[in-house]
Amino acid sequence: MQKAQQKILLTGATGFIGLHLCEELYKQGQDVRAFVRKSSNTEQLSNVANNLHFLTGDLSDEDSLKEACENVDIVIHLAGIAHVNNVSQQQLRDINSIGAVRLFRVAVEAGVKRIIFLSSALAQAAEDDNATAYGRAKYEAELALRGLCAASATSYTILRPVNVYGLGMKGNIAKMIGWIKRGILPALPAVDTRFSLISVEDLARLIVLSINHPKAADKCFVVAEKEPYKLLEIEAEIYRNLQKKRPTRRSPRVLLYVAAATAGLLGRILAMFKVRTAISGINLRTYNNLVGDSVSNDDQVYSELEFEPQENFFKQLPLIVNRNL
């Protein structure tokens, strides 16, 4: 399926997913241009793949985007704001929607063959007008990409990954590991919450697979492992890998709700003074994520692209925990 030495423009190369994707592209012998901001730290990226070409620019700078897209075959767009604490909705939209659409338009005008856009499973809710600001921004960018490609010879592939895990991960599970390590997370209530997950390695393989796969053209795929994970099993394995005793008495839901609401209020007050603490990022959204299912799946990615995830969260957890110790 893979064609060697295509010219690929990659945004978000210095991020969690970008670093792993660069490593996978390097293994495949692809010619990669990493589009980075002036403030980006590229040292770790250089260690992953020593033949990367760096181009400096910004999603708000159309001239830098035009230069980056010149003579490019494939654009892979990962850049954006993924963790939205203390970020205004306007900032979120400026980068995740307006900036993304600006890149898509320039890429189409440059004659790029395919644009691969890493959206989010949260964009799905926007179709029912029930999304977060992050999900809405991603969905707006998806709609614009579809429209631009429909009127051109450029094809698109939209990937909507669920929560992504692996070395260097951020997000709720990484926070959970840190909170358990510090002893500030109460024992979770007796809930049946389930999460869909995907490893960063599997996601990187799928992105590379999508570059040339004919059935990936003009399609949108939800990306998740076939079976979800139970929250209480994740909690138990984190305690075991940290070699900490897991509380046997479950917290009432109301106690967790009050703790999350109080932490959220305190966090907002401290943020006004640019102070971050161990509880920064805990709020009612954290509570809702812990007690509500977050399950997404789409057999289409398995049947049409013949994609099979190879990793497992519990297999990787010892490495993730050790990296965070």
pTM across the whole model: 0.91
pLDDT at residue 224 in the model: 95
pLDDT, mean of residues 86-97: 86
Q: Mean per-residue pLDDT for 61-71?
A: 97
Locate the domains of the chain by residue range. 7-161
**Residue 86: what pLDDT?**
63
Angstrom CA distances, 50 to 1, 3, 28, 70, 241, stand at: 24, 20, 14, 22, 34
pLDDT tens figures, 229-244: 999 999 999 999 999 9
Q: How confident is the model at residue 228 (pLDDT cuts 50, 70, 90)?
A: very high
| Residue 324 backbone phi and psi in degrees, to 5 | -90, 0
Domain covering 7-161 assigned CATH 3.40.50.720 in the classification: yes
Q: What confidence tier does 153 reach under pLDDT thresholds 50, 70, 90?
A: very high
pLDDT of 2 above 50: no
What is the structure's pLDDT at 211? 96
Tokens for 288?
């809702």
Residue 10 Cα distances to 7, 64, 130, 240, angstroms: 10, 14, 30, 38
